[in-house]
C-alpha cells in the first residue's frame, strides 16, 4: 500500500472544497418560459390560428396594445393599429367594428385583457396573440427600426 506524505495529504484535503466550489459556481441552465394560467374569456391564439387570420387582411385588424419601446424591441405583425392598453377605452372610435380583431402583446396577457374589454363593447374579437409566443412556435414577426434622432438646432 502506498503512503502519502503529510503535506500531500493536506493538499489533497484542501483541494476538494475548491473543486466543489468551482462546480457550484457553474452557471445554471436557462429555464424555459412557463406561462401563467390563462384567465381571460378571449381565446389565446396559436401560430396556425394567427396565420390563418392574417391570410385574410381585408377581414382582420391587428390591435397591438403595447408601448412603443416594446414594439421596437419585440417586433409585431406586418400591419397593425397601436393603442396602448391604458388608453384603449378612450380610443374605441378608432377601431373598426366591421372586422375581426386580433389583440397583441408580448405574451398575450394584456392582449387577453384588451380582448375582454373590446368584447364587452361590442367588437368582434378573434383572439389574443403574443409576439414572443408566436416566435416560440416558429413564427416570424416584423422588427421595427426606430427613426434616427431629430437633428439638434
Rounded distance between C-alpha atoms, residue 17 and residue 103, angstroms: 54
pLDDT in tens, the chain (153 residues): 555 455 444 444 554 444 444 455 555 667 777 878 999 999 999 999 999 999 999 999 999 999 999 998 999 998 899 999 999 999 999 999 999 999 999 999 999 999 999 999 999 999 999 999 999 999 999 987 877 888 887
In a domain, 88, yes or no: yes
The number of domains in the chain is 1
In a domain, 61, yes or no: yes
Q: Quote the pLDDT of residue 12.
A: 47
Would you say the pTM of this structure is higher than 0.95? no
Which grid coordinates belong to 105? 402583446
Q: Quote the pLDDT of residue 144.
A: 79
Rounded distance between C-alpha atoms, residue 63 and residue 101, angstroms: 7
In a domain, 119, yes or no: yes
Rg (CA), the chain: 26
Concatenating the DSSP letter of every residue in 45-108 gives: P-HHHHHHHHT-TTTEEEEE-S-HHHHHHH-B-SS-EE--GGGSGGGGGGS-SSSEEEEEESSS
Instruction: Let me know if 134 is exposed, middle or buried by CB neighbors in 10 A (0-12, 13-18, 19+).
Output: buried
List the CATH number of the domain containing 100.
Answer: 3.40.250.10
Provide the residue range defining the domain that includes 120. Answer: 47-136
Q: Quote the pLDDT of residue 10.
A: 47
Q: Quote the pLDDT of residue 11.
A: 43
Amino acid at each position: 500500500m502506498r503512503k502519502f506524505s503529510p503535506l500531500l495529504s493536506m493538499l489533497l484535503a484542501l483541494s476538494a472544497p475548491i473543486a466543489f466550489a468551482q462546480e457550484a459556481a457553474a452557471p445554471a441552465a436557462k429555464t424555459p418560459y412557463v406561462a401563467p394560467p390563462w384567465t381571460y374569456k378571449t381565446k389565446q391564439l396559436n401560430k396556425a390560428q394567427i396565420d390563418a387570420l392574417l391570410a385574410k387582411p381585408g377581414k382582420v385588424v391587428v390591435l397591438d396594445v403595447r408601448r412603443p419601446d416594446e414594439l421596437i424591441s419585440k417586433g409585431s405583425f406586418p400591419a397593425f393599429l397601436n393603442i396602448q392598453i391604458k388608453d384603449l377605452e378612450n380610443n374605441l372610435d378608432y377601431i373598426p367594428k366591421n372586422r375581426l380583431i386580433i389583440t397583441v402583446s408580448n405574451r398575450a396577457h394584456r392582449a387577453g385583457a384588451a380582448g375582454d374589454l373590446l368584447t364587452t363593447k361590442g367588437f368582434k374579437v378573434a383572439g389574443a396573440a403574443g409576439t414572443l409566443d408566436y416566435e416560440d412556435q416558429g413564427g416570424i414577426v416584423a422588427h421595427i427600426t426606430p427613426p434616427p434622432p431629430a437633428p439638434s438646432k
